[in-house]
Copies of this chain bind each other. A is one copy, B any other.
Amino acid sequence: MKRLLGWATGLWLCASGMALGSPTKAPTQDLTKLPGTQKALGDDPLATLRTTADGLISSLLSDDRMYPRLVQLCDRFGPRLSGSANLERAIDWILAELVRDGLSTAHGEPVMVPRWVRGKEELRLTSPSEQRLELLGLGGSVATPPDGLSGPVVVVQRFEELTVENARDKIVVFAPPFVSYEASVPFRRVGAIRAAEVGARAALLRSLTPQSLGTPHTGVMLYKDGVPKIPFAAIAPEAADQLLRQQRDGQRIEAKLSLHSQTLPPSPSRNIIVEVKGRERPDEVVLFGCHIDSWDVGQGAHDDAGNCVAAWSALRAVQSLRPRRTIRLVMWTNEENGSAGAKAYAAAHGNDKHVIALEADSGVFRPTGFLFSGDDAALAKVHKVAQLLAPLQASMVGMPGGGADLRPLADRGVPVVGLQVAGERYFVYHHSAADTVDKVDPVELKQVAAALAVFVYGASELW
């Protein structure tokens, strides 16, 4: 975990001709000469800042390089699970692209990440009828025996329904109705523990999504020392609801589950770190980030490749403005199944003077504002910065907030925010084969970049 060396404030180079396959020419105008900038330049620093923010928004909303770049990232490297060659190749490419863009401080910092590998998977209902059900093993699940395991099925909608009497030696299906991700995610996190504690042989989860076309959604799950590790997989909501109806109808439900996942030794990955040095307070850091790893299905386009492309476009846009404080972008590795990247960053940089830290990890949709955790003084500053986003209608601030990769910093007292978006469809795609680049709207991608740029630039000036 080497420290950053060789700070350099690069120039904002128009890199459109150099980026691989970028089909459109970038806007090359000097931001200070945009129409919006002209009309309000004066002695009021806030007015100047507002005009600069308007210029940033205008510039990024016309930056047509982002979407082709996101397509390249998704199509060339595929899903980017920790420990995969796909992820490391994607990191190599991003580092090279950042340097091509004139962001010469870009470098990787080594992190050892867990390595869980999905194998062949199959779920068959054998009673009341023969039926193949779609499934996705949950990340970290142990395998079944090589020939699979068979048994009666019991369906529950709440942890309180689980008893040794109804669950011992059974396959437990957790079928909570989807109200919100936050309300349902405990079933995924600790379902295998709770089922094993009452003697279940395996567990299945109704996928955490408000809408489905027979689509299972994966995600991380946990085991607990002293509790047997049982296999755990997600099934489509339609299948879980069917099993629940069958149970209520008094039918005998039996299934056979095969999961051939493996947990291999940890392997090397990297956090990507790139920054623009502050002109007045270079030691004070405005941090923003996203994660470059993804699950192993779909393309991880909304989660979180799109935010990576938006964030690096934002950093490139603010570079030429010579921000007051240092603006640092981190693309964490291993957010999805271990947060090793976040821990490594905090270990290496936890003593840096982070004035504020933002994560964008709620999908790539129209920005609406920020979710914040921190003290009152920081809250007031976040509101001040957020008002610069009025042209995008993205000035709302809620509490609490942050991001998975910001937890170690928040624990050290750094104020944290998460970018909020109009993400009604996020969990329809999230952690599934449906999280593909075609689901990202090119205009919303640019809006996210604009929101990130204004936030970090505004914070670097105003904090």
Residues 236-273 of A contacting B (Cβ, < 8 Å): 236, 238, 241-242, 245-246, 249, 251
Extra 8 A-B pairs, beta carbons < 8 Å, given A213-B215, A214-B297, A236-B433: A75-B246, A76-B128, A120-B122, A214-B433, A215-B434, A238-B433, A238-B434, A238-B436
> Closest chain B residue to A71 by CB distance?
B245
Give CA–CA (A253, B274) in the complex, Å. 32
B84 touches A130 (CB 8 A): yes
> Closest chain B residue to A428 by CB distance?
B213
Q: Which residues of B contact A82 (CB under 8 A)?
A: none
Q: Which residues of B contact A211 (CB under 8 A)?
A: 213
**A432 in the interface, Cβ–Cβ < 8 Å?**
yes
Pick the contact of A434 from B129, B214, B251 — CB < 8 Å?
Answer: B214
B298 touches A214 (CB 8 A): yes
A129 touches B78 (CB 8 A): yes
Give CA–CA (A428, B299) in the complex, Å. 21
**A131 in the interface, Cβ–Cβ < 8 Å?**
yes
Q: Which residues of B contact A74 (CB under 8 A)?
A: 242
**A132 in the interface, Cβ–Cβ < 8 Å?**
yes
Nearest 6 CB-CB pairs, A to B? A214-B433, A78-B129, A213-B434, A78-B131, A238-B436, A214-B434
**A85 in the interface, Cβ–Cβ < 8 Å?**
yes
Closest CB in chain B relative to A306 CB, distance in Å: 15
B245 touches A213 (CB 8 A): no
A299 touches B128 (CB 8 A): no
Residues 85-99 of A contacting B (Cβ, < 8 Å): 85-86, 89
Q: What residues of chain A have their CB less than 8 Å away from a CB belonging to chain B?
A: 21, 71-72, 74-79, 84-86, 89, 118, 120, 122, 125, 128-132, 134, 211-215, 236, 238, 241-242, 245-246, 249, 251, 296-299, 428-429, 432-434, 436-438
> Closest chain B residue to A90 by CB distance?
B129
Question: Which residue, of A76, A134, A251, A299, has the highest number of chain B Cβ atoms within 10 A?
Answer: A134
B129 touches A436 (CB 8 A): no
Closest CB in chain B relative to A257 CB, distance in Å: 14
Q: Which residues of B contact A298 (CB under 8 A)?
A: 214, 238
Pick the contact of A238 from B241, B428, B438 — CB < 8 Å?
Answer: B438
> Closest chain B residue to A439 by CB distance?
B238
Known contacts A71-B245, A238-B433, A238-B436; A131/B79 CB under 8 A = yes
Pick the contact of A249 from B21, B78, B120, B214 — CB < 8 Å?
Answer: B21
Closest CB in chain B relative to A269 CB, distance in Å: 16
Q: Which residues of B contact A130 (CB under 8 A)?
A: 78, 84-86
Give CA–CA (A134, B71) in the complex, Å. 20
Q: Which residues of B contact A132 (CB under 8 A)?
A: 118, 296-297
Give CA–CA (A42, B236) in the complex, Å. 56
Give CA–CA (A238, B300) in the complex, Å. 13
A sample of 19 inter-chain contacts (CB < 8 A) reads A72-B249, A75-B246, A76-B249, A77-B129, A78-B125, A86-B130, A86-B131, A120-B120, A120-B122, A132-B297, A212-B434, A213-B429, A213-B433, A214-B215, A214-B297, A214-B434, A215-B434, A236-B433, A242-B299
Q: Which residues of B contact A76 (CB under 8 A)?
A: 128-129, 246, 249, 251
Closest CB in chain B relative to A423 CB, distance in Å: 16
Q: Which residues of B contact A245 (CB under 8 A)?
A: 71, 75
Give CA–CA (A215, B130) in the complex, Å. 21
Closest CB in chain B relative to A130 CB, distance in Å: 6
Q: Which residues of B contact A438 (CB under 8 A)?
A: 238, 241
Closest CB in chain B relative to A113 CB, distance in Å: 16
Q: Which residues of B contact A85 (CB under 8 A)?
A: 129-130
Give CA–CA (A134, B131) in the complex, Å. 18
B75 touches A242 (CB 8 A): yes
Give CA–CA (A434, B239) in the complex, Å. 10
Closest CB in chain B relative to A359 CB, distance in Å: 26
Q: Which residues of B contact A118 (CB under 8 A)?
A: 132
> Closest chain B residue to A131 by CB distance?
B78
Give CA–CA (A427, B213) in the complex, Å. 11
Closest CB in chain B relative to A281 CB, distance in Å: 42
Closest CB in chain B relative to A299 CB, distance in Å: 7
